[in-house]
């Protein structure tokens, strides 16, 4: 997911090496007028006063573009971006952030900087509001700067480790181009990779074609760092230099099934030929069999390299093969990456949590459905005897992206589901991704005690029953009587999640006599006496509540 920062055209690029001594043209609207739109706070954090005059109600916010659950921009009926408010940073204090029509004296202050030359900058907006307090779309942008801002030359890792708001100059290879409207792309060096979120000219304009950046080029950029959902970004970066690559990647990333197959890596070679050396550890399952050249639809001469991938009976694996092209001016390198799926292995929730994140390692897991929070995409917690993990989306069949087929599965909270997915994470928290897809599930029927008593014994038919707990005869395994208005039945063991044999998790549930519990189990018996077997926990209410 990417941060959708809103930065004005007059903003950072023109001010990158400025301190707080220059003056800038004031920009105002009829509805909102400010004495200054560029607000300088001294390094010691002392207050700066800004006069505000409005003819409408208003709110001062930090804003980001709204996104849907798939991470895409949300647009209104007119095709305009919709914006969400986010909290102001902790280092900034504003005396008033909203009001009705009138005149105001607003003060901006900040925490003192340890180093006055390590300044920071923030873009805010004053929203005009209608009579119902909703944004009208009219905004006055403000630039808040504290201290002196000077760009520092850094590696990608130094940017990653550095503070947000600091401006950096970074040189690296363009690895992926994600958006050519605003210029969003990935820059990598030998230390790591960062996202360039927006590429602008010296006057702050988006003009991607003018930069002539292609995958493989070595680019030097300058921009302020921010971090959003764990992604380190330089926002609206200026391009300082572009060194054209001698080797342009056309097709270099592949995913192959566990059955193996053939792929063709493709390059536009601008140097003196194409060279490669297959790493020794790949020779047992990767073979380069043929090289050809052909002309693409744009008239470029493309070099194609045929690569064979052997079947895989183990875990997923990844091959990285370096290719180079050289001339008297230097050498360029491009990597071919082949990800091969492995055999799907069964794992517990604890084993999934302990595994490393991977887009190609698929695991099969089984547990109960809990906390079903989204029935469109299928977001819920999967709980087994070893733990709980969020399933971020479940589809009826294997899909590249969530097709909103969850409802067709018929899965409900409390059901036992078997699914296949990858080990993913969000903000460092483990989750199941992929998206995960459905293998099978065991549903349940809501029933009274009397209906369970009358049912035939069947270890594959599950009932959800609610009643009052009494006569706990075994607090280790969870043996007790369950009573509702229709009768009483003996529960022979209750666990937190479905298990093959009782894992003694009853004590962790905190259930006491007199509590009302909802459980799911099968109709069982012992010596002819009916009982509930294979029961697992759904919910309960304490008698004290």
Whether 390 and 432 have beta carbons less than 8 Å apart is answered as yes
* Mean pLDDT across 71-75: 72
Q: Is the pLDDT confidence value at 364 over 60? A: yes
Average pLDDT on 164-183 reads 90
- Specify whether 181 is located in the same domain as 301: no
Provide the H-helix boundaries in 73-176. Answer: 156-161
For residue 173, the cross-strand partners are: 188, 218
CA 38, CA 243: separation in Å to the nearest integer?
35
The answer to whether the bond into 435 is cis (omega within 30° of 0) is yes
Q: Is residue 78 part of a domain?
A: yes
Residue 5 resides in a domain:
no
- Whether 234 and 303 map to the same domain: the answer is no
Predicted local confidence at residue 24, as pLDDT: 39
Of 211, 243, 275, the residue at which a domain comes to its end is 243
Residue 357: the pLDDT is 93
Terminal-to-terminal C-alpha distance of the chain:
42
Task: Give 226-265 as a 3 state SS string.
Answer: EEECCEEEEEEEEEEEEECCCEEEEECEEEECCCCEEEEE
Cα–Cα distance, 539 to 446 (Å, whole number): 14
Q: How many domains does the chain have?
A: 5
**Which token pair is 197?**
């979120």
Q: Which residues contact 122 (CB under 8 A, 6 or more apart)?
A: 62, 89, 92, 143, 144, 145, 165
Domain termination residue (choose one: 149, 175, 193): 149
CATH number, domain containing residue 69:
2.60.40.10
What's the mean per-residue pLDDT of the chain? 89
For residue 321, give every residue at least 6 positions away whose Cβ sits within 8 Å of its Cβ, in sequence order, or none: 265, 276, 278, 279, 282, 286, 288, 307, 335, 336, 337, 338
Q: What is the pLDDT of residues 476-489, one digit of tens each?
A: 999 999 999 999 99
Residues 182-192: tens digit of each pLDDT: 999 999 998 99
Distance CA 537, CA 517 (A): 8
pLDDT (mean) for 295-320: 92
d(CA 194, CA 235): 11
pLDDT of residue 431: 98
Which residues share a beta bridge with 48? 108
Q: Is residue 9 part of a domain?
A: no
The predicted-structure confidence for 232-263, as pLDDT tens digits, reads as follows: 999 999 999 998 889 888 899 999 999 999 99
Q: Please give the share of the chain, as a percent, with pLDDT higher than 70.
A: 94
Residues 292 and 213 in one domain: no
Pairing of strands 135-149, 118-129: antiparallel
pLDDT band at 545 (very low <50, low <70, confident <90, very high): low
Residues 325 and 360 in one domain: no
Band (pLDDT 50/70/90 cuts) for residue 16 is: very low
| 280 lies in some domain | yes
Mean pLDDT of 403-429: 96
Q: Mean pLDDT check: name the lowest of 67-76, 349-358, 445-454.
A: 67-76
Same domain? For 351 and 430 the reply is yes
Mean pLDDT of the 113-138 span: 86
Q: Residue 117 falls within a domain, yes or no? A: yes
* Dihedrals phi, psi of 364, to nearest 5 degrees: -100, 135
Query: Are 323 and 360 found together in one domain?
Result: no
Residue 343's alpha-carbon distances to 255, 308, 312, in angstroms, are 14, 19, 7
Q: What is the pTM of this model?
A: 0.54
Nearest to 41 by CA among 93, 102, 103, 85: 93
Domain of residue 499, residue span: 444-541
Q: Are residues 504 and 515 located together in one domain of the fold?
A: yes
- Residue 118 forms part of a structural domain: yes
In a domain, 298, yes or no: yes
Query: What pLDDT shows up at residue 70?
Result: 67
Confidence of residue 499 (pLDDT cuts 50, 70, 90): very high
DSSP bridge partners of 51: 105
Is 3 inside a domain boundary? no
Strand duo 261-269 + 301-309: pairing: antiparallel
CATH number of the domain within which 187 lies:
2.40.50.200
């Amino acid at each position: 997911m990417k941060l959708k920062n809103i930065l004005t055209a007059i903003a950072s690029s023109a001010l990158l090496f400025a301190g707080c001594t220059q003056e800038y043209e004031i920009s105002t609207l009829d509805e909102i007028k400010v004495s200054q739109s560029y607000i300088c706070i001294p390094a010691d954090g002392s207050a700066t006063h800004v006069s505000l005059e409005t003819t409408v109600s208003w709110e001062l916010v930090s804003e980001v573009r709204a996104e849907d659950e798939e991470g895409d921009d949300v647009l209104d009926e007119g095709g305009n971006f919709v914006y969400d408010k986010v909290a102001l940073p902790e280092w900034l204090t504003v005396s008033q952030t909203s009001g009705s029509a009138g005149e105001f004296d607003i003060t901006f202050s900040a925490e003192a900087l340890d180093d006055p030359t390590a300044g920071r900058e923030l873009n805010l907006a004053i929203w005009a509001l209608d009579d119902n307090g909703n944004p009208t779309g009219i905004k006055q942008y403000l630039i808040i700067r504290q201290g002196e801002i000077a760009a520092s030359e850094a590696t990608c890792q130094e940017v990653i480790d550095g503070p947000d708001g600091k401006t950096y100059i970074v040189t690296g290879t363009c690895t992926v181009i994600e958006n050519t409207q605003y210029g969003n792309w990935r820059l990598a060096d030998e230390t790591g990779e960062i996202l360039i979120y927006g590429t602008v000219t010296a006057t702050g304009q988006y003009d991607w074609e003018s930069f002539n950046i292609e995958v493989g080029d070595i680019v030097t950029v300058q921009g302020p760092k921010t971090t959003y959902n764990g992604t380190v970004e330089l926002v609206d970066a200026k391009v300082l230099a572009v060194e054209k690559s001698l080797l342009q990647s056309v097709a270099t990333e592949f995913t192959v099934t566990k059955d193996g197959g053939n792929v063709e890596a493709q390059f536009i070679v601008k140097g003196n030929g194409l060279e490669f050396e297959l790493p020794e550890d790949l020779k047992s399952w990767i073979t380069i069999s043929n090289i050809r050249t052909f002309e693409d639809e744009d008239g470029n001469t493309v070099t194609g390299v045929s690569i064979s991938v052997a079947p895989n009976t183990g875990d997923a694996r990844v091959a990285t093969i370096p290719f180079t092209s050289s001339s008297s001016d230097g050498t360029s390198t491009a990597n071919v990456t082949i990800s091969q799926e492995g055999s799907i292995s069964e794992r517990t929730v604890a084993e999934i949590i302990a595994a490393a994140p991977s887009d190609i390692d698929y695991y099969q897991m089984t547990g109960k459905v809990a906390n079903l929070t989204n029935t469109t995409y299928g977001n819920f917690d999967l709980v087994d005897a070893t733990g709980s993990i969020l399933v971020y989306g479940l589809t009826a069949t294997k899909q590249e992206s969530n097709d909103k087929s969850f409802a067709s599965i018929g899965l409900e909270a409390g059901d036992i589901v078997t699914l296949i997915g990858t080990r993913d994470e969000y903000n460092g928290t483990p989750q199941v991704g992929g998206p995960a897809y459905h293998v099978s599930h065991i549903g349940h029927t809501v029933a009274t005690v009397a209906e369970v008593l009358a049912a035939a014994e069947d270890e594959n038919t599950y009932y959800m029953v609610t009643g009052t707990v009494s006569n706990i005869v075994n607090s280790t395994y969870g043996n007790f009587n369950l009573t509702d208005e229709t009768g009483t039945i003996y529960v022979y063991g209750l666990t937190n999640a479905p298990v093959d044999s009782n894992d003694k998790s009853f004590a962790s549930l905190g259930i006491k006599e007199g509590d009302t519990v909802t459980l799911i189990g099968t109709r069982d018996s012992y010596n002819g006496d009916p009982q509930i077997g294979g029961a697992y926990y759904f919910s309960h209410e304490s008698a004290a509540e």
